[in-house]
């Protein structure tokens, strides 16, 4: 049952990246996956658990792409490289799913609030690992990763307004460089 379950989760995540989580209905999803809603429930237990597994799978995929990024030549360049990765279509799909999952957990609705918090940790760990591999000292890496991630979230909110490269991106890269070289 493990391999079948994992395959269903992977394919359901692909489907959710294209169609989103809001309004997810088991019958249309199952039909798109070539199975039945009863089989989805058999392998995953409930619609809520399916959504949780989609959130986890999406977070793992996103973090894995960041972890596969080669170390950058410097901490400021790491910021720019991470932004370039973050703005790929694949990462944008994950971001859209993240926003939907966050809205489900926004008011503490479980299990989504807990899963989004876990998703944040998975992503922050990957941001931190890339920054360290690119020259950020381990001792400052978590706070710098949190700054970069928070700035990127803000930049994401401005993307629909038309700015391909956020105005603050170069300022963020300089700020990271200053933080790395400060006492």
Give pLDDT, residue 2. Answer: 85
* Secondary structure in 3-state letters for the chain: CHHHHHHHHHHHHHHHHHHCCCCCCHHHHHHHHCCCHHHHHHHHCCHHHHHHHHHHHHHHHHHHHHHCCCCCCCHHHHHHHHHHHHCCHHHHHHHHHHHHHHHHHCCCCCCHHHHHHHHHHHHHHHHHHHHHHCCCCHHHHHHHHHHHHHHHHHHHHHHHHCCCCCCCHHHHHHHHHHHHHCC
Q: Who wins on pLDDT, 107 or 73?
A: 73
Region 172-178: mean pLDDT is: 95
Give pLDDT, residue 160. Answer: 62
Residues in the chain: 183
Q: How confident is the model at residue 1 (pLDDT cuts 50, 70, 90)?
A: low
Q: Going by C-beta distance under 8 Å and a sequence separation of 6 or more, which residues neighbour residue 97? A: 16, 17, 20, 21, 54, 55, 58
For residues 32 and 22, give the distance between their C-alpha atoms in angstroms, rounded to a whole number.
16
Domain boundaries, the chain: 48-181
Give pLDDT, residue 92. Answer: 84
In the predicted model, what is the mean pLDDT of the chain? 89
Q: How confident is the model at residue 32 (pLDDT cuts 50, 70, 90)?
A: very high
**pLDDT surpasses 90 at 5:** yes
Region 38-63: mean pLDDT is: 91
pLDDT in tens, 124-136: 999 999 999 999 9
Q: How confident is the model at residue 9 (pLDDT cuts 50, 70, 90)?
A: very high
**pLDDT surpasses 90 at 94:** no
pLDDT in tens, 137-172: 999 999 999 999 999 988 887 766 666 677 789 999
Give pLDDT, residue 8. Answer: 94
**pLDDT surpasses 60 at 53:** yes
């Amino acid at each position: 049952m493990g391999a079948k379950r994992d395959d269903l989760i992977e394919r359901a995540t692909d489907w959710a990246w294209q169609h989103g989580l809001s309004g997810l209905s088991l019958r249309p999803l199952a039909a798109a996956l070539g199975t039945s809603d009863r089989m989805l429930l058999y392998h995953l237990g409930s619609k809520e658990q399916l959504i949780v597994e989609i959130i986890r799978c999406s977070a793992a995929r996103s973090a894995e792409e960041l972890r596969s990024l080669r170390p950058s030549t410097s901490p400021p360049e790491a910021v720019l490289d991470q932004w370039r990765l973050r703005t790929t279509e694949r990462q944008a799909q994950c971001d859209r799913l993240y926003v939907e999952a966050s809205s489900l957990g926004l008011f503490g609705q479980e299990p989504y609030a807990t899963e989004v918090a876990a998703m944040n940790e998975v992503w922050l760990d990957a941001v931190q690992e890339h920054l360290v591999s690119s020259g950020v000292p381990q001792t400052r890496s978590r706070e710098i990763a949190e700054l970069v991630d928070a700035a990127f979230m803000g930049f994401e909110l401005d993307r629909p307004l038309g700015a391909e490269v956020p105005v603050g991106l170069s300022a963020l890269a300089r700020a990271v460089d200053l933080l790395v070289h400060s006492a």
